[in-house]
Amino acid sequence: MADTPPNFYKTGLRPLLFNALNADPERLHQQTLGLLAWLAANPAEGGWQQPLRRAAQSGLKAAYCQSDSRLSQTLWGLHFDSPLGLAAGFDKDGQAARAWPLLGFGFAELGTVTAQPQPGNPQPRLFRLPADAAALNRMGFNNQGATALAKRLEALWHPLDCPIPLGINLGKSKVTPLEQAAADYLASFKALKDWGSYFVVNVSSPNTPGLRMLQARDQLEPILAALQSANRPRQPLLVKISPDLADADLLDIINLAQSYELAGIIATNTTISREHLQTQTLATGEPVRHQPGGISGAPVRQRATEVIRLIYQHTQGQLPIIGVGGIFSAADAWAKITAGASLVQVYTGWVYEGPGLARQICQGLLNQLDRHGLKSISQAVGLNSIES
């Protein structure tokens, strides 16, 4: 891969934020979202701030966006300028929805949003594990609820003038019993169906009690049935799965996804495994091994890629996959795409590598296309799907 220029975020800003200031990860996250929301607000609104915003937005575009038709694809009738998107959980309430295209993302997934607004788990609930290039979170779907997201998007986002596709990731409200999950997902879907380009049934977060049990065939089926029967005209509906599923359970979900005509599968969410972690204790001094939460970043990379390959093989590439888990570089994205992912997403890698990551990945993917003599990214999908 071509040499990359020095990364000011990694050498200057990140050490300051992570170490010198020892900024609380969740506070820093909220401040970043606030800043991005301000920068990306519609420049036509807002008096004296107008010229400042215009300049900031064209500066962001110039610095972070990479446009090349070889990276574009049409999937589910939607146009994706780039295969790299923002993963769910970063912008749960869509505060910074307008910022993601300015930072080089080809799509962004908002949420997880639930039918009822909810505060999530007690803080602290987000920890960095720098020795493992990872994070541990037990946020618990803290979000303002589906109706609030619909209102925000109505104000911020104009469906006819969407710069990128917006996914909306739906979860079950904590107060709703598992037996009533289908109605709960359906309520969120109905509130938001005019605002998403695609929708995701999230049954794989480890941070809502019992949620991952909804991945079982008999639990998932009524949810998919309820959503698909209300899904007219048809919007792309995907399911997001855990990396901790046994292969046999994974095959069950794939078959169900196909029989309910889902648009695809997102693989994967965070893992509850603590294997191979270097980090022993969290910032609170408590042992990582016994702390609840999901691990993201490098430790989930390999299993996520295996899951992608398995889905691709089992469906003979007929069911589109969004690959996510441990992408920190173009090589990581390429591994997921060639295993079978049509699109990929990042969360933890963006926190560690900084805002230049989307552009860096796009440039690296273009280099890979050249190296392999391919004309477009869609030709790379599944290229290494028979490796085991």
Catalytic residue list: 205
Angle between helices 357-371 and 330-339 (to 10 degrees): 60
Identify residues 259-278 at the interface with ligand FMN (CB under 6 A): 269-270
Minimum distance, C-beta of residue 112 to ligand FMN, in the bound complex (Å): 3
Q: Is 341 in the site for ligand FMN (CB under 6 A)?
A: no
* Binding characters for ligand FMN, 342-361, by CB under 6 A (x = yes): ----xxxx------------
- Going through the chain in order, the beta strands assigned E by DSSP cover 73-75, 78-80, 84-86, 107-113, 126-129, 134-137, 166-170, 198-202, 237-241, 264-267, 294-297, 321-324, 343-346
State whether the Cα torsion 121-125-126-132 is positive or negative: negative
325 vs 382, beta carbon nearer ligand FMN: 325
Helix residue ranges, H only, 231-292:
247-259
Q: Is 22 part of any known ligand binding site?
A: no
Element (H, E) at 336: helix 330-339
Longest CA pairwise span in the chain (Å): 59
CA separation for the pair 325, 286 (Å, rounded): 25
Minimum distance, C-beta of residue 69 to ligand FMN, in the bound complex (Å): 26
Residue of 36, 97, 220, 324 that binds ligand FMN (CB under 6 A): 324
Identify residues 67-126 at the interface with ligand FMN (CB under 6 A): 87-89, 92, 112, 126
Residue of 37, 41, 110, 135 that binds ligand FMN (CB under 6 A): 135
Enter the tokens of residue 298.
């490098």
Q: Is 89 part of any known ligand binding site?
A: yes
User: Of 165, 64, 60, 184, whose CA–CA distance to 116 is shortest?
Assistant: 184
Task: Report how far apart, in Å, the C-alpha atoms of 363 and of each of 84, 219, 256, 345 are.
Answer: 12, 42, 37, 16
98 vs 336, beta carbon nearer ligand FMN: 336
Residue of 66, 169, 305, 360 that binds ligand FMN (CB under 6 A): 169
Binding stretches for ligand FMN (CB under 6 A)? 87-89, 92, 112, 126, 135, 137, 139, 141, 169, 202, 205, 240, 269-270, 296-297, 300, 324-327, 346-349
Task: Summarize the annotated binding site for substrate as residue ranges.
Answer: 92, 137-141, 202, 207, 269-270
Task: Summarize the annotated binding site for FMN as residue ranges.
Answer: 88-92, 112, 169, 202, 240, 268, 297, 326, 347-348
